[in-house]
A = this chain, B = another copy of it.
Amino acid sequence: MPESDENTVFVGNSKPTMNYVLAVITQFNKGTKEVSIKARGRAISRAVDVAEITRERFLSDVKVKSIEIGTETIENDRGQSNVSAMTITLTK
């Protein structure tokens, strides 16, 4: 299962999209009313896929509560660089 905590699913590029969808569905099935999907950089496109597949194919009563975008600074080998970030919050 992808990394997830406190009703948040972090979407990366390492696992198939459906793993993240399942992680979101699992959170809702636990009784959670709100799940946040977070991603940075190129994984942002996949986070939108995760939200859309969850709603269209599996949980049609789930709605998009909010979508936020921002910029985060990350440290890497060559110093600091900026990366776009997005949080999609789904609610039941």
Contacts and interface: CB of A to CB of B under 8 A. Distances in A.
A86 to B, nearest CB: 6
Q: How large is the interface on A (under 10, 10 to 19, 20 to 34, 35 or more residues)?
A: 20 to 34
Nearest to A43: B45
Contacts of A51: 69
Nearest to A44: B45
A71 B84 contact: no
Contact of A84 (B42, B45, B64, B86): B45
Interface of A: 41-45, 48-49, 51-52, 56, 64, 67-71, 82, 84, 86, 88
Q: Which 5 A-B pairs have the closest CB atoms?
A: A67-B67, A44-B45, A48-B84, A45-B45, A52-B71
